[in-house]
C-alpha cells in the first residue's frame, strides 16, 4: 500500500472542540509516555500492553478504561479510536547492545512490524504523527539495516521520518540516552532545505546514515538540547533511617568493599572523607570471571534497567563524615529517576515496580520532545526554520541556519 492510500483525507486534524489532541499509546508499559502527553495537553484515548503487572500499575495511575491488555498481534487497526498521534516504545530486547542482537527479526523487537501492520490497517484514519522510542543500540542493529528498514516501512505508510537522540540526564540525574523516531504524514517543507547540523541530538552517525540512504524520506527539524539545572542524586535519594532493614549488613558491605578496584576504592575514600554525606550509584559487573562493584564517578544514576537479573540492579552508596552505607536502589527512587515521583506503586511488589520502571521512559524527556516537536507538528505551527538532510561532508557546524519557507507543509514525493 502506498503512502497516498493510508494518508487520512487532507491529513485531518482530529483535535476535538476543546482543541485536545488524542493519542494511542502502544507498548504502554506503566504509561509514562502518556504522562508526558497529558502534561502537554494531549489525551490518551487507547493504550495497550501485554504485561499483567504493567497493566496493574497503569490502571492504578491512569484512566483504566483506555487500557487494553493483549498481545499486539491480536490488535486490529479498526479497534483503535480516532487519534492523531500514535506513540510506541517497542521492545528493545533484540536491538540493545546487552541483548541477543537478533534485531527486528527477533521475537520481541520484531513487534515493530506488528505496530506498522496496525497502522496500515488504519487505512485512511492513520494518525498524522507517530513517536517511536528505543535504545541507541537500535541505530547499529544489523549494521544499521534495521533502522533503514524501519524508516523504509514507515515511509511506505506515508510517514516522513526524523530521528532525535534525547538523554534523560538533561532533565533528571539519570544517564539514559534514547532514540526517538518522529514521523509525520505532512512533511516539513523540503524547499526550506538547509543543513543537517550536528548536535548531541543528531550524532554524526545519523547524518552518515541519511547520506547513505538518499532513497529514504527523512527530515530534520532544528532542535537544541535543553540546558537545565538538573542537580544530582541528592534530589532523588530516599533518606532512610539507619535502622531501615534495606541497608546492607556487615558481611555484604565488606564483600562490596573488597570487590572494589583501586580506582573505585580511592573514589570511595574521597567521598567518605567529606564532612557532608553524598550519594553515588554502583553496578555489579563481572571482571575476569569475578563479580566486582563499580561506583560511578558522577552524582548521576546509571541507566535504569529491568530488574530481571542481579546485574541490572543498582546499589546506592551513601558516603561522608567518615562512614559508608550501601543498599539497593528503591522502587520510589526508580520512579523519581523516571520523572514520576508521585506514581502509585501500591498493589505490586518492589521488584515488580522496578521491573516496570526499568523499562519505562523518562517523563520530562518525552515531555520536552512533545512540547518542542510533536505538538507543534500536530498543530502545524512549526517555526519557519528548518533543516533537511544532506549527505555527509556537507554537515554544517552552524546551529543558526535559517531559511524562510514559502509554505510550511509539503507533500511526500517518493512514497
Ligand X SMILES: C[S@@+](CC[C@H](N)C(=O)[O-])C[C@H]1O[C@@H](n2cnc3c(N)ncnc32)[C@H](O)[C@@H]1O
Nearest approach, Cβ of 108 to ligand X (angstroms)?
6
Q: Which is nearer to ligand X, 133 or 387 (CB)?
A: 133
Q: Which is nearer to ligand X, 115 or 268 (CB)?
A: 115
Q: Which is nearer to ligand X, 28 or 317 (CB)?
A: 28
Q: Which is nearer to ligand X, 37 or 154 (CB)?
A: 37
User: Which residue in the shown chain puts its C-beta closest to ligand X?
Assistant: 29
Nearest approach, Cβ of 3 to ligand X (angstroms)?
26
Residues near ligand X (CB under 6 A) are: 27-30, 32-33, 48-51, 54, 71-73, 89, 91-92, 111, 359-361
Q: Which is nearer to ligand X, 150 or 319 (CB)?
A: 150
Nearest approach, Cβ of 66 to ligand X (angstroms)?
14
Nearest approach, Cβ of 49 to ligand X (angstroms)?
5
Q: Which is nearer to ligand X, 70 or 384 (CB)?
A: 70
Please give the DSSP secondary-structure letter assigned to residue 314: E
Nearest approach, Cβ of 245 to ligand X (angstroms)?
29
Nearest approach, Cβ of 46 to ligand X (angstroms)?
13
Q: Which is nearer to ligand X, 29 or 302 (CB)?
A: 29
Nearest approach, Cβ of 169 to ligand X (angstroms)?
18
Nearest approach, Cβ of 277 to ligand X (angstroms)?
32
Q: Which is nearer to ligand X, 40 or 208 (CB)?
A: 40
Write out the chain in H/E/C secondary structure.
CCHHHHCCHHHCCCCCCCCCEEEEEECCCCCHHHHHHHHCCEEEEEEEECCHHHHHHHHHHCCHHHEEECCHHHCCHHHCCCCCEEEECCCCCCCCCCCCCCHHHCCCCCHHHHHHHHHHHCCCCCCCEEEEEEEHHHHCHHHHHHHHHHHHHHHHCCCEEEEEEEEHHHCCCECCEEEEEEEECCCECHHHCCCCECECCECHHHHHHHHHCCCCCECECCCCCCCCCCCCHHHCCCCCCCCCCCCCCHHHHHHHHHHCCHHHHHHHHHHHHCCCCEEEEEEEEEECCEEEEEECCCCCECCCCCCCCHHHCEEEEEEECCEEEEEECCHHHHHHHCCCCCCCCCCCCHHHHHHHHHCCCCHHHHHHHHHHHHHHHHHCCCCCCCECCCCCCCCECCCCCCCCCCCCECCCCCC
Amino acid at each position: 500500500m502506498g503512502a497516498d492510500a493510508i494518508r487520512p483525507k487532507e491529513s485531518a486534524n482530529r483535535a476535538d472542540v476543546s482543541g485536545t489532541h488524542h493519542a494511542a499509546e502502544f507498548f504502554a508499559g506503566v504509561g509514562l509516555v502518556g504522562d508526558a502527553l497529558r502534561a502537554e495537553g494531549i489525551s490518551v484515548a487507547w493504550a495497550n500492553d501485554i504485561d499483567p503487572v504493567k497493566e496493574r500499575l497503569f490502571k492504578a495511575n491512569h484512566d483504566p478504561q483506555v487500557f487494553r491488555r493483549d498481545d499486539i498481534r491480536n490488535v486490529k487497526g479498526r479497534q483503535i479510536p480516532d487519534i492523531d498521534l500514535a506513540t510506541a516504545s517497542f521492545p528493545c530486547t533484540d536491538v540493545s547492545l546487552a541483548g541477543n542482537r537478533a534485531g527486528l527479526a527477533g521475537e520481541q523487537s520484531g513487534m515493530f512490524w506488528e505496530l506498522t501492520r496496525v497502522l496500515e490497517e488504519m487505512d485512511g484514519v492513520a494518525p498524522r504523527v507517530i513517536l517511536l522510542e528505543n535504545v541507541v543500540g537500535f541505530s547499529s542493529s544489523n549494521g544499521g539495516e534495521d533502522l533503514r528498514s524501519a524508516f523504509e516501512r514507515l515511509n511506505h505508510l506515508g510517514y516522513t521520518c526524523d530521528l532525535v537522540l534525547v538523554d534523560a540526564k538533561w532533565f533528571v540525574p539519570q544517564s539514559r540516552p534514547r532514540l526517538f523516531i518522529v514521523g509525520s504524514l505532512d512533511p516539513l517543507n523540503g524547499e526550506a532545505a538547509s543543513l543537517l547540523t550536528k548536535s548531541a541530538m543528531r550524532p554524526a552517525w545519523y547524518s552518515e546514515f541519511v547520506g547513505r540512504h538518499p532513497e529514504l524520506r527523512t527530515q530534520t527539524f532544528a532542535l537544541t538540547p535543553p540546558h537545565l539545572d538538573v542537580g544530582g542524586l541528592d534530589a532523588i535519594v530516599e533518606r532512610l533511617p539507619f535502622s531501615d532493614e534495606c541497608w546492607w549488613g556487615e558481611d555484604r558491605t565488606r564483600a562490596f568493599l573488597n570487590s572494589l578496584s583501586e580506582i573505585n576504592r580511592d573514589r570511595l575514600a574521597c567521598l567518605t572523607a567529606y564532612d557532608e554525606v553524598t550519594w553515588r550509584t554502583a553496578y555489579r559487573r563481572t571482571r575476569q570471571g569475578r563479580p566486582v562493584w563499580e561506583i560511578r564517578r558522577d552524582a548521576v544514576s546509571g541507566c535504569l534497567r529491568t530488574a530481571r537479573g542481579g546485574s541490572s540492579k543498582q546499589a546506592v552508596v551513601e558516603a561522608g563524615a567518615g562512614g559508608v552505607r550501601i543498599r539497593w536502589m528503591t522502587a520510589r527512587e526508580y520512579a523519581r529517576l523516571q520523572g514520576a515521583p508521585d506514581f502509585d506503586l501500591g498493589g505490586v511488589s518492589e521488584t515488580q515496580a522496578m521491573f516496570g520502571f526499568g523499562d519505562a521512559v523518562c517523563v520530562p524527556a518525552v515531555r520536552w520532545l512533545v512540547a518542542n516537536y510533536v505538538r507543534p507538528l500536530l498543530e502545524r505551527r512549526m517555526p519557519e526554520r528548518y533543516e533537511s538532510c544532506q549527505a555527509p561532508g556537507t554537515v554544517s557546524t552552524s546551529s543558526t541556519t535559517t531559511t524562510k519557507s514559502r509554505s510550511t507543509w509539503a507533500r511526500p514525493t517518493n512514497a
